[in-house]
Amino acid sequence: MSDYQHEVEELERESATAARLFDVRRIIGGLFTVYGVIVTIAGLMANDADLKKAQNININLWTGLGMLALGLFFLIWQMLRPAVAPEAGEGEAEAEGGPAKD
């Protein structure tokens, strides 16, 4: 195998790794999960005065649980359907506005 082919294969592997690493679902899921945990803890620590301000609805608890569920959904989705880097010819065809060549 020539050096050129070896370099191309190495770059393709690095591209696939970068695509998985910077998948937007991972970033969104991570942020929502972290913020969901923080807001849920704030909701669990709410006192009677806080609940009275919100008409006896623990808004922090419910919002935190919703954010946590959404964050976990994104993370699970990313694990079940990982991002795949596009093939070398696909990106060029899409950039030109035409269909990908087989």
User: Which amino acid type is present at position 64?
Assistant: G
Using the 8-state DSSP alphabet, how is residue 98 labeled?
S
Q: Which has the higher per-residue pLDDT, 14 or 67?
A: 67
Give the model's pLDDT for residue 79: 87
- pTM greater than 0.75: no
In a domain, 16, yes or no: yes
Q: How far is CA 35 from CA 30, 42, 67, in A?
A: 9, 11, 7
List, as own/partner pairs, every contact residues 46-55 make where C-beta atoms lie below 8 angstroms and the sequence separation is at least 24, other chains included.
none
Residue range of the domain that includes 78:
3-96
Q: What is the mean pLDDT of residues 66-95?
A: 78
Give residue-wise pLDDT tens across range 31-54: 999 999 999 999 999 999 989 998
In a domain, 10, yes or no: yes
In a domain, 102, yes or no: no
In a domain, 42, yes or no: yes
Give the model's pLDDT for residue 59: 94
Predicted confidence band of residue 90 (pLDDT cuts 50, 70, 90): low
Using the 8-state DSSP alphabet, how is residue 49 labeled?
H
Give the model's pLDDT for residue 31: 96
In a domain, 35, yes or no: yes
In a domain, 101, yes or no: no
- Total domains, the chain: 1
